[in-house]
Amino acid sequence: MLNSFMLTGRRALVTGGGGGIGRALSSALYDMGADVLIVGRSQSADEAAAEIGTPERPVQSLQADLNDRQALAAVFEQAVSKLGGLDILVNCHGVVHSQESLTYPIELWDETLENNLNSVFLLCQLAGRVMVPQGSGKIINIASMLSFSGGLRAPAYAAAKGGVAQMTKALANEWSSKGVNVNAIAPGYVKTQLNRHIWTDPVRTEQIMARLPAGRWGDPDDLKGTVVFLASAASDYVHGAIIPVDGGWLSR
């Protein structure tokens, strides 16, 4: 049974791998035997690759702005070439801008939707063009609690993450019969720099803790088991699932 979770020889591309969650997911895939390439917009991608990999078995990295569609297509092609193919895609990049909806700038709306939804679809499409012909592949998107609810003061992020969940299901409907699994992980309140504006707000922190059955914020490492499951043969009959890893948030 343990062998069904192993990823030896699998080639994995992780976007946003320099961030807290992306770094943890990259580490989990690597630890289970996958060859990993991290894409990020800054030096943090290179730093994460150096931290996770070893001289004998390095993790590769590339820097790119995934809001730039030409750069996105180019870095995807380069990543697949460096990996020698593609078996696993984890879309973990994203941005959030918190502001009242009455004054929310359309420029921030456009930037958030481009980064958190449009680029995710384009990467899924590019991966699908590799995976469908080969008859196998695992695509794992990162959804959110705001895929299920509207959240607070983050209208563009909620719209994008709602879209990621529905897009994941739509692609699963098309590609599951072709050997490609498309699923998503929906992290709960996991403490990262992306949501620093929440966990540094004592009022919001108190509100969140009052609802969290687990009694604590999540840690990026809490997502490792789920990404390994979805990337491995253990999940071969799992399609279009949005799996919450939320400390029980949705159950209350």
Residue 60 has what pLDDT?
98
Classify the C-alpha dihedral 59-61-135-234 as positive or negative: positive
Residues in the chain: 252
Q: Which residues of 78-117 are buried (b: 16+ CB within 10 A; e: fewer)?
A: ebbeebeebbbbbbbbbbbbbeeeeebeeebbeebbbbbb
For 144, the domain range is 2-247
Question: Which of the residue ranges 43-47, 65-69, 202-206 would you say has the lowest mean pLDDT?
Answer: 202-206
Could you tell me if residue 23 is inside a domain?
yes
Q: State the pLDDT at residue 116.
A: 98
Residue 252 lies in a domain: no
Distance spanning both ends of the chain, measured CA to CA: 33
Residue 1 near residue 41, CB atoms below 8 Å: no
pLDDT of residue 67: 95
List, by residue number, the catalytic residues.
157
Please give the pLDDT value at position 2.
86
Please state, in angstroms and rounded to a whole number, the distance separating the CA atoms of residues 87 and 233: 11
The pLDDT of 11-26, averaged and rounded, is: 95
CATH of the domain at 152: 3.40.50.720
Domain count, the chain: 1
Tell how far CA 232 is from the center of its chain: 16
Mean pLDDT of the chain: 96
Span 158-194, pLDDT tens digits: 999 999 999 999 999 999 999 999 999 999 999 887 7
Residue 134 lies in a domain: yes
Q: Is 6 inside a domain boundary?
A: yes
pLDDT at position 194: 74
What is the average per-residue pLDDT within 204-212? 90
pLDDT mean over 89-96 = 96
Residue 212 pLDDT class (50, 70, 90 cuts): very high
Q: Which pLDDT does position 204 carry in this prediction? A: 86
Q: Is the pLDDT of residue 94 over 90?
A: yes
Tell me: pLDDT of 102 over 80.
Answer: yes
What's the pLDDT tens digit per position in 131-156? 999 999 999 999 999 999 999 899 99
Maximum distance among all alpha carbons in the chain? 54
How far is residue 202's CA from residue 189's CA, in Å, rounded to a whole number?
14
Residue 25, in any domain of the structure: yes
Q: What is the pLDDT of residues 19-39, one digit of tens each?
A: 899 999 999 999 999 999 999
Instruction: Count other Cβ atoms within 10 Å, centred on residue 18.
Output: 26
List, for residues 117-135, the tens digit of each pLDDT value. 999 999 999 999 999 999 9
pLDDT value of residue 8: 98
DSSP assignment of 73-129, as one string? Answer: HHHHHHHHHHHTS-SEEEE---------GGG--HHHHHHHHIIIIIHHHHHHHHHHH
In this prediction, residue 180 carries a pLDDT of 98
What confidence score (pLDDT) does residue 200 get? 86
